[in-house]
Amino acid sequence: MTLVYFRLIAAACAGLLASTCAHADLSGNLQLHGFASQGAVQTSANRFYGNSPDTSFDFTEIGVTASWRLNPRLLLAAQALSRRAGEMSDGSPELDFALADINLIATDTHRAGLRIGRMKNRLGLYNETRDVPFTRPGIFLPQVVYFHKVRNLVLSTDGVQLYGELYRPFGTLSATLASGRPVIDENVEAALLRSNIPGQMKDRENSWLASLWFQSPAERLKLGLSGAAIALQQDWRLTPKTPTVDLLYWIASAQYNGPNWTISSEYMGLPTRWRDFSPVRPNRNQTTEGYYAQLTYRLAQPFELMLRYEEGFADRDDRDGTQLERLTQGMIPSQASSSRILSLGLRWDISRQWMLRAEYQRHNGNFILSEIENPDFRRFDKHWDLFAIQAAFRF
């Protein structure tokens, strides 16, 4: 089914190219950009992006982006990314996004268009640009909202997206509606199942994604509501029925930009339903939640300070994790179900191309840790510290 889907996308893109290349100046309107970063992570306990208790350098990002405007109505864009993140990602080159953006309507008061291909999902304030170090508020995004361990599941979708914008004197209203196939890897399976279950996790049907945003003039105020409905199944034949996992990942976002500072806050809800995994696990429903408040303050050029507090819970009805520990007979300790994190970061823009960052985090709980990097939950340390530095370059 996925192969058929890609063939349809390829055919549509080929048709668009054929119809426009004759009228386009193929030698112009081509832009190339790129970035590279290297980080070092040190933790007092637990593994985060590699063997961090002994200092890990397994945090590398390299990306190249190309965009080509064939004419005012058609833009082609793609980004290749190599990302090394401890045991969660080995740095193999991947297609981060590749799409055709078709401008259907454009006037002084509104605009509408269609995107086809692999698209970054417009979820929250940072998901679309989370791979570019210069666009993040810190070395790491708020991890209780933008989970590193299931990053690929919500990062992008192979499918079709409709988008529109409405321009008014009081601000801009924008909306998106998309459908397509999610990207699933072993990190997703480990985070959702927390055990080694035979078979492979895959999508059961198309995901649906939607967003609604408001921006005031000069982008002083930004408000948004975005979400994704994702249906998965485990390719496993040891039960009469096919095991399934259904998720509804949504984020409410707010941001205010002052002359020298920015305040951002988001709330994430993730209702999840597991069915037909017996005898491994009973049917159950669970709602994960996370939220944060963040202040970035632009000091005397070229420095910027970031302060953030965040909380996340695997199950909002079991915030202290006692039910989880009891149900797993102590195999998963209570502190694995929650994280409370205080972060302080400093950014130094050495030049337009070069940036240095340093960040300190104080952790209470282990909810944000990767199950692949930390397979033995009984060895979790509840209270731990993280210090990271990162150098980034762009062109």
- Give pLDDT tens digits along the chain (395 positions): 444 444 444 444 434 443 444 344 444 589 999 999 999 999 999 999 999 999 999 999 999 999 999 999 999 999 999 999 999 999 999 999 999 999 999 999 999 999 999 999 999 999 999 999 999 999 999 999 999 888 888 999 999 999 999 999 999 999 999 999 998 888 888 888 876 677 788 899 999 999 999 999 988 999 999 999 999 998 876 667 889 999 999 999 999 999 999 999 999 999 999 998 876 678 889 999 999 999 999 998 899 999 999 999 999 999 998 988 888 888 888 999 999 999 999 999 999 999 999 999 999 999 999 989 998 888 889 999 999 999 999 99
Q: Are 311 and 144 in contact (CB under 8 A)?
A: yes
Three-state DSSP at 49 gives coil
SS3 content of the chain, % helix, strand, coil (to 5): 15, 55, 30
CA dist 319 → 133, 142, 146, 193, 250 (Å) = 32, 19, 19, 19, 19
Q: What is the pLDDT of residue 287?
A: 96
Q: How many residues does the chain have?
A: 395
Cα(250)–Cα(121) distance, integer angstroms: 12
Question: Of 139, 60, 149, which is closest to residue 387 (Cα–Cα)?
Answer: 139
SS3 for 140? coil
pLDDT at 16: 43
Q: Quick check: helix, strand or coil at residue 15?
A: helix
Instruction: Return the beta strands (E) in 12-73 as ranges.
Output: 30-43, 56-71
Distance, CA of 168 to chain centre? 30
Task: Characterize the bridge pairing of strands 30-43 and 110-120.
Answer: unpaired
The pTM (predicted TM-score) of the whole model is 0.89
147 CB-near residues (< 8 Å, 6+ apart): 154, 191, 368
| 247-286 confidence digits (pLDDT tens) | 999 999 999 999 999 999 999 999 999 998 876 678 889 9
Burial of 274 (0-12, 13-18, 19+ CB in 10 A): buried
Which has the closest alpha carbon to 338: 312, 363, 317?
312
DSSP-derived 3-state class of residue 367:
coil
Q: CA angle at residue 238 from 236 to 239, to 5 degrees?
A: 95
Residue 95's contacts (CB-CB under 8 Å, 6 or more residues apart) are 78, 79, 80, 81, 118
2-394 fold: Porin (2.40.160)
With beta carbons less than 8 A apart as the criterion, state whether 29 and 68 touch: yes
Q: Of 86, 114, 84, nearest to 99 (Cα)?
A: 114
Contact 355, 385 (CB under 8 A): no
Q: Tell me, what's the pLDDT at 376?
A: 87
> Looking at residue 380, what DSSP letter applies?
-
Nearest CA-CA partner of 362 in 380, 388, 333: 388
What gap in Å lies between CA 247 and CA 150, rounded to an integer?
12
- Domain segments of the chain: what residues? 2-394
Max Cα–Cα distance, the chain, nearest Å: 68
C-alpha–C-alpha distance, residues 124 and 291, integer Å: 12
Which amino acid is residue 53, in one-letter code? Answer: P
Q: What are the beta bridge partners of residue 106?
A: 111
